[in-house]
Amino acid sequence: MQEGETNSFSLPPEKAYSIYNKELVFAFYIDNIKKITPKVGERYDLKLKNGNTLSMKVIKVENQKVIVDGNHDLAGKEIIYDIQLVKILN
């Protein structure tokens, strides 16, 4: 590439934020949550039994249940980068 040139490249989901995993979407009862009122779109870190944490996004609240999604927002999507070479440094 020369200075000022542009280029595009893409990454398939497998090489970007992974494929969408339906097993990371699950529901639990609001009664199991303490001190918070979950709202759609909010993210929470849930501590797992093995001590790890998983960032979950609330996608639905209904009938005393909260449905959460542990996938990255870009999971399952092709990522396209548009780049421009501004300057070559020697």
Q: Write out the DSSP string of 2-53.
A: -TT-EEEEEE-GGGTT----GGGEEEEEGGG--S----TT-EEEEEPTTS-E
Asked whether the beta carbons of 7 and 1 are under 8 A apart, the reply is yes
pLDDT per residue as tens digits for the range 20-61: 999 999 998 888 777 888 999 999 998 888 999 989 999 999
Lowest mean pLDDT among 1-5, 37-41, 46-50, 72-76: 46-50
What's the predicted TM-score (pTM) here?
0.77
Asked whether the beta carbons of 16 and 77 are under 8 A apart, the reply is yes
- For each of the domains in the chain, give its residue range(s) and CATH number, in order of start: 1-19+77-90 (no CATH), 22-70 (2.40.10.330)
Please name the residues in contact with 51: beta carbons below 8 A apart, sequence gap of 6 or more.
none
pLDDT of residue 28: 87
pLDDT of residue 36: 83
Work out the percent of the chain whose per-residue pLDDT is above 90. Answer: 74
